[in-house]
Structure 1
């Protein structure tokens, strides 16, 4: 048991910069789940994130000669702002290496706090490598965002406050996990002070590095990481954080992008504040736990870990929220292309609210409808599908189809007759000047582009759906080229959403 952290946490003297944040009951959500749900408001810190705690505690522990050398970190957001603020308070020179893909709002926030910003690479790993080089070149002291005992201890003060603020029964605490600094500090403290309280880490399904490490019994590097919750988009849990977490957490819960979006909405409705995706991660896991366990009259806590979100990402989050709450079903339905069939389908839906309706002539025999419908639960969605199928409709459930939700709903009606040898790929690539041009140059010079749909949600990565005419014998050549691009991609040629609404 990592008892050594208890004294470190108790000795942390961070409150001349960090604040003791409130622990608030989420009244609406508590009523909905028949449990007391508590939210630790780390979004109210001066840098809108808990990261100020660990960064400042690390600075306080540095010897005077190390402070005089200056400090450096690699970060795309919250750790950068925390270290910049703490360094300014102590008169320490700070350098932050950030990926070129970092949104300008975060770059500006770090510069405003007096730190030097070095933009390098497209990913955190490339920025971190450059930071290590600058340590050698300039003689700076590296401050790790999570894998450092002093940083972990600083984050552990969140749990110290939480348990002091809530002295009654506490069934479980749900903590967001990226590299593991917050989770390790909090879990170590809770396990020692309140051993009867369960502790769960929460990760995105597409960035579950702690879950992979616990299952393997050792740290594993994920081959790729989802980027929606950028604050926890880490490919490998820290070495020290894993040592602590493997002894102090009761399990890991993974959640989808839609479930995170729904949790952002829940936080807004209860507090009128807007969490970033990583900030709502813990609540998404708490909700999933309660839905699966059917617990009643208990007390559960989580951390709103940050609110550094670009405003233009809210459009995408709002779009996905109802699905995350299991309040919307997205389906494709085939109906006869005949007078009255469209009206009859609407009648068969009854009084159910329609959230989206896209219709396109498909052939002389049938039409395909892309429709969003309001439901009250996952069971209600299953019953809806069964009722429509019982009435003779061919129904395809697209509620969990990522391509349908990202692209197809905006492209319905794009069929082309006589098009042959079309393949469809979905991509994520770094959103920076020249990236789209480079992407197109690699593809357009070799094959004809038949479809192109690009969406940016205010994040560091854009999303693209591309159709290409590629002869069967050349598809291995295409695959080799795509792998050289080093962008995340998915072959969607057989995706039912494409075949129903766009396929020739």
Structure 2
């Protein structure tokens, strides 16, 4: 922990108050009761751009203007919106490179925040192509490339989250849980709090950039990554962020499956009415992993963002049910005789519901392969169903967790 860094973070936070208010720090009764602790949510999903990313963009721009009047970034989401918002605020030009495959909703929001001060350029199918184009443009035009995390001014700006937490809580929390992508938020928070609290860092299984860096002693590329948790799906931790995180303990880094994160998204929406993007749900889902460590303590979970496209909701619900064991898909070898389907239907319990039924193969004379999806209200119901199928001598293959098969037929 550096006193200079702390003072700079406090100064950045004060300067931000002229642009947007502090995001709320709210005690969550549901989570506090569930985990027998004082659980607070730092609601970065309630910032003007629904994520913490505008903090780093603000701090970098306020320090670099007037030496620079053209800012460039590559992003498919929150960083793009933060940069656009600040370009409009400061009245400077911005060029934002986004993959062609970026959802139109995110493109439109970025343009709305930036107005006439920004230009959005769609380049390539993947982020790497957009990044290469952005960096080439900076070299050609002499523009400033604003990294989403690997920039000292950005890290300092993200530390304002920690400054606000201490201010709002009136003390340092006993434990803070942070989502990790490129490491900007975690580096800023650790840089400000130092060793005054305990940490849990949370990453999606499909993009373990911090875990890999700590194991290797330096940032390493963990490609290919799973982009589902797009706000934290980063292939390589930043060099600058790693310098502030290199003393973190590997055992304090938790990896959560993408399907498991969906459980929290659905729970927070249904129970609390809070809309979180996958990265914003990471810290909350991690509570279950540290239950014994946090009991009776004051804990802050940083809900990093709420830019959730509701067109993804059916997929999120599906993945949550799969993880919770409430839905299964299997291929059944069904005899092609009168009454065979009725016999199978009679095996279903009172809470079992068919969500998918499709003949996959009709060429066999005596048997046909059927793709079946069953949804129920308790995982143990499947034990009774499979027992009945086994007793009847039916042949079936559970493909629920076979990703290779599932992506084609589910």
Tell me the TM-score range normalised by the shorter chain: 0.7 to 0.9
**Distance across 2 between alignment mates of 1:369 and 1:297:** 48
Whether the 8 Å contact between 2:321 and 2:327 is mirrored in structure 1 is: yes
Whether the 8 Å contact between 1:57 and 1:150 is mirrored in structure 2 is: yes
Report the equivalent of 1:59: 61
Q: Classify 1:400/1:295 alpha carbon distance in 2 versus 1 (closer, same or farther; 3 Å).
A: farther
Q: CA RMSD in A?
A: 3.0
Greater mean alpha carbon deviation, residues 211-220 or residues 156-165: 156-165
Whether the 8 Å contact between 2:329 and 2:371 is mirrored in structure 1 is: no
Matching of residue 242 in structure 1 with residue 245 in structure 2: no
Report the equivalent of 2:257: 256
5+ long unaligned stretches in structure 1? 410-504
Whether the 8 Å contact between 1:27 and 1:270 is mirrored in structure 2 is: no
5+ long unaligned stretches in structure 2? none
Whether the 8 Å contact between 2:179 and 2:186 is mirrored in structure 1 is: yes
What secondary structure does 1:370 align onto?
Answer: strand
**Distance across 2 between alignment mates of 1:157 and 1:110:** 23
CA deviations on 1:417-463 (whole Å, 9 max, x unpaired) are: xxxxxxxxxxxxxxxxxxxxxxxxxxxxxxxxxxxxxxxxxxxxxxx
**Distance across 2 between alignment mates of 1:312 and 1:2:** 44
CA deviations on 1:108-137 (whole Å, 9 max, x unpaired) are: 222332312222222222222222222222
**Distance across 2 between alignment mates of 1:381 and 1:184:** 45
**Distance across 2 between alignment mates of 1:326 and 1:246:** 37
**Distance across 2 between alignment mates of 1:38 and 1:79:** 25
Q: Classify 1:365/1:328 alpha carbon distance in 2 versus 1 (closer, same or farther; 3 Å).
A: closer
Larger relative contact order (Cα-Cα within 8 Å, sequence gap ≥ 6)? 2
**Distance across 2 between alignment mates of 1:359 and 1:137:** 55
Equivalent positions of 1:477-488 (< 5 A) are none
Shift of 1:375: 5.0
CA deviations on 1:46-102 (whole Å, 9 max, x unpaired) are: 1111001111011122253x13x3222222221122122222222222222222222
Report the equivalent of 2:78: 78
Report the equivalent of 2:88: 88
Shift of 1:408: 1.4
Whether the 8 Å contact between 1:261 and 1:317 is mirrored in structure 2 is: yes
**Distance across 2 between alignment mates of 1:258 and 1:70:** 40
**Distance across 1 between alignment mates of 2:345 and 2:41:** 42
Report the equivalent of 2:41: 39
Q: Taking structure 1 as the reference length, what is the TM-score of the superposition?
A: 0.71
Whether the 8 Å contact between 1:188 and 1:248 is mirrored in structure 2 is: no
Matching of residue 320 in structure 1 with residue 319 in structure 2: yes
CA deviations on 1:360-392 (whole Å, 9 max, x unpaired) are: 376415654523232545xx3785577457635
Q: Classify 1:124/1:320 alpha carbon distance in 2 versus 1 (closer, same or farther; 3 Å).
A: same
What secondary structure does 2:178 align onto?
Answer: strand
Shift of 1:104: 2.4
Greater mean alpha carbon deviation, residues 393-402 or residues 42-51: 393-402
Report the equivalent of 2:397: 396
Shift of 1:216: 1.8
Equivalent positions of 1:326-475 (< 5 A) are 326-334=325-333, 336-338=335-337, 340-354=339-353, 356-358=355-357, 360=359, 363=364, 364-365=366-367, 368=370, 370-374=372-376, 376=378, 380=380, 383=383, 387-388=387-388, 391=391, 393-409=394-410
**Distance across 2 between alignment mates of 1:334 and 1:7:** 68
Shift of 1:241: 0.7
**Distance across 2 between alignment mates of 1:168 and 1:288:** 25
- Say how many residue pairs are matched: 400
Q: Taking structure 2 as the reference length, what is the TM-score of the superposition?
A: 0.85
Matching of residue 268 in structure 1 with residue 269 in structure 2: yes
